[in-house]
Amino acid sequence: MNIAIFASGRGSNFEAVARAIRQKRLSCKIKLLVCDNPQAKVIEKARNAGVDALVIERSAFADKKAFEQAIIKRLKKDGIDLIVLAGFMRLLSAEFVRAFHNRIINIHPALLPAFKGSHGIADAFAYGAKVTGITVHFVDEHMDHGPIILQEAIPIKENDTLASLEGRIHRLEHRLYPKAIQLFAQGRLKIKGRKVGITRK
């Protein structure tokens, strides 16, 4: 199974997926990194891992549709089976999502539907929540929405700082995201009773 990882920043989840593949806990190949930020550290990590990086800036295109069409063209050329969003800081259009129906997944650092948006950890911490966690879900036309694949909760401790909570959330992400991808690769996921995923290797 060929996957494309979309990322805009440090790439810690990219590293976690690559590590799971090396350790044979995950049966797929990272065929492509898609990054919209030419300064992102994930680009060097991809190149060090021998993964092609498509560095593509929105500003180089007349509109969002042209930007996304260029990405779709490359994804189809590379035979991508699954898109893995890992800190990609752009919302995908409904047209893009339809082009890869039930083949885009995202990881969110909160227990959806709570604390949607780009600051899920900080929002839960500031709210004073006693429990938070992470959610892996299929992507649909709405932000931080779509059928849930996996969720896991962790308590927010009395002595937690935002930094310590972020560290525990990220460690949880790195364990759960490869597990969710493997479930897709094995054809073990269902949406509304219908199997989704790729069974070929």
In this structure, the number of other CB atoms found within 10 A of the CB of residue 58 comes to 12
Helix (H, G, I), strand (E, B) or coil at 151: strand
Which strand ranges, in their side-by-side order, compose the sheet holding 104-108? 52-55, 29-35, 2-6, 82-85, 104-108, 131-138, 148-155
Instruction: Yes or no: say if 82 and 51 are a contact pair by the CB < 8 Å rule.
Output: no
SS3 (DSSP) at 136: strand
Active site residue 108: yes
Q: Please spell the DSSP secondary structure of 4-46, one letter per residue.
A: EEE-SS--HHHHHHHHHHHTTSS--EEEEEEES-TT-THHHHH
Instruction: Please name every residue paired with 32 in a beta bridge, in sequence order, or none if there are none.
Output: 4, 52
Structure token pair of residue 24: 């044979």
What whole-number distance in Å separates Cα of residue 98 and Cα of residue 92?
10
Structure tokens at 129: 């929540």
Annotated catalytic residue within 101, 108, 142, 174:
108
- Catalytic positions are 108
